[in-house]
Amino acid sequence: MIYDVVIKNGTIIDTKGLRSTVGNVGILGGKISVITRENIVGNMELEVEGKIVCPGIIDIHAHVEGNLDCARVLVAMGVTTVYNGNCGMSPDNFKEFFKENESFLINQIEQIGHTALREKVGVKDRYKAANVEEIEKMKELLEEAFNLGVSGLSFGLEYVPGSSKVEVLELAKVAAKYGKLISIHTRADCYGGLSFLREAIDISRKTGAAVNISHLVYQFGMGMATEALHMVEDGLREGLDISVDSGLYSGFATAIGSAVFDEGCIEKWGCDYNSLIAGTGKYRGQRLTREMYEELRKDFPEDTGIGMVGMESEVFEILEKPYIMVSTDAGTMYDKGIPGHPQDAGTYPKFFRTMVREQNRISLIEAISKCTYMPAKRLGLINKGIIDIGADADILVFDPKVIADKADYPCFGATDTRPEGIEYVFVNGVMAVKGNEVLGVKPGKTLKSKHELWTWSK
């Protein structure tokens, strides 16, 4: 037997069983065909002794939506699959999206966003609640999206503060009916947002739906992480079907004209305007003054604003919890192909560098599982997130002694600098990254979900 690719003598990570071993991996036809210590032969053979061989990273909170610039930055740090459509934002036309993205650099999975649904039925005022007729239209559109293969429903409630609890719950019931995951960016952050974390958890309690709470550190990493984690843990002890993702940065990024940066945000966060940084646009990399803030809000609302308002220690407090998955929130407004925030290029190498190598908070195997097997299981991806015979050959090879992030906030350096320590990345058996080079291939697929009624299963 001659395999397409043979990865030889690497340290293979069993993300499901949390074990490691040394062996050879043979790839054939886009799948892992053999894992052995035999001397197998391939058309391409890679000697990786001392390097980690693990599943490709699955980013459960991203905004790639077919953006090749974003995908190139992500795959360079080992991401092979992204879960898009978060924070209520999603493509306008899924038929077109699925057709245009049949092949892509990495794998994509799509959700439909609540904000996108509101806009489709004519509710464009973010401070206005949908009426009964508009809610019914949104529910019909949601069913249509699920029928096309959309995998979940997302809420970005902080972006549409006028949305009612009624419309949220009615849409959540439709998602629950079909067993679709609901991702929730809570209605507010900081101390005032803790009650809205309860709102998110209550969706699972009231409907039975699977709920994933988005980027916890960006919502509650300003001094109230412990309280937020206790609320999540109370829900988990109750047996609710909830999960959480979080990132590696204490400063978040989003559109400066969004409701997140509404008047009063400075007082809420207890900071000054110089804690806000322009991530893209005419002031890219500059700390804002009140005058710059007001100008951008009025004239350049789509520019990226970065809120440097979190606490670094709470990044790690959150991520060391065994139930937390790692995510990027990548796709934060690109400026001439360059991201507005370092999370797109640095998240996972930073995780392995800080949490594992420098601080020894969790083991390398646990860290890899948080980025691969845990999100795969949450998304129902039975052939991803694992190194196993028959699994999709989405594979990351890296040097655990070297891996490190090099991207930085735009006020300090380049946001898109590629990490160190990445040896190879394969997507569906095709090499997509070799060292620092992202190759011009499109082995990724847009993965659709079955549309069927939820039934009880153990």
Each residue's pLDDT tens digit, 433-443: 999 999 999 99
Q: Environment class of residue 31 by beta-carbon count within 10 Å: exposed (0-12), middle (13-18) or buried (19+)?
A: middle
C-alpha–C-alpha distance, residues 343 and 351, integer Å: 11
CA atoms within 13 A on the CB side of 228: 36
DSSP 418: P
C-alpha–C-alpha distance, residues 444 and 147, integer Å: 22
C-alpha–C-alpha distance, residues 220 and 197, integer Å: 9
Comparing C-alpha atoms, which of 348, 350, 343, 393 is closest to residue 369? Answer: 348
C-alpha–C-alpha distance, residues 200 and 185, integer Å: 9
Q: What's the predicted TM-score (pTM) here?
A: 0.97
Check residue 458 and give its pLDDT. Answer: 65
Q: Tell me the domains of the chain and their CATH numbers.
A: 2-54+387-441 (2.30.40.10), 56-253+308-378 (3.20.20.140), 254-307 (no CATH)
Comparing C-alpha atoms, which of 177, 191, 189, 249 is closest to residue 213? Answer: 189
C-alpha–C-alpha distance, residues 347 and 358, integer Å: 15
* Pair of tokens at residue 95: 């038929």
Residue with tokens 């052995």: 36
Check residue 327 and give its pLDDT. Answer: 98
Cβ(297)–Cβ(261) below 8 Å: yes
Phi-psi region of 389 (alpha: psi -120 to 50; beta: other; left: phi over 0): beta
Comparing C-alpha atoms, which of 274, 275, 267 is closest to residue 251? Answer: 275
Chain-centre distance for alpha carbon 67:
15
Check residue 417 and give its pLDDT. Answer: 97
Coil, helix or strand at residue 52? strand
Low-confidence ranges of the chain (pLDDT < 70): 458
What DSSP line would sit under 182-206, residue for residue?
EEEE-S--TGGGHHHHHHHHHHHHH
Check residue 332 and give its pLDDT. Answer: 78
Cβ(85)–Cβ(112) below 8 Å: yes
Residue with tokens 């291939």: 441
Supply angle C-alpha 343, 371, 86, rounded to 5. Answer: 60
Check residue 33 and give its pLDDT. Answer: 98
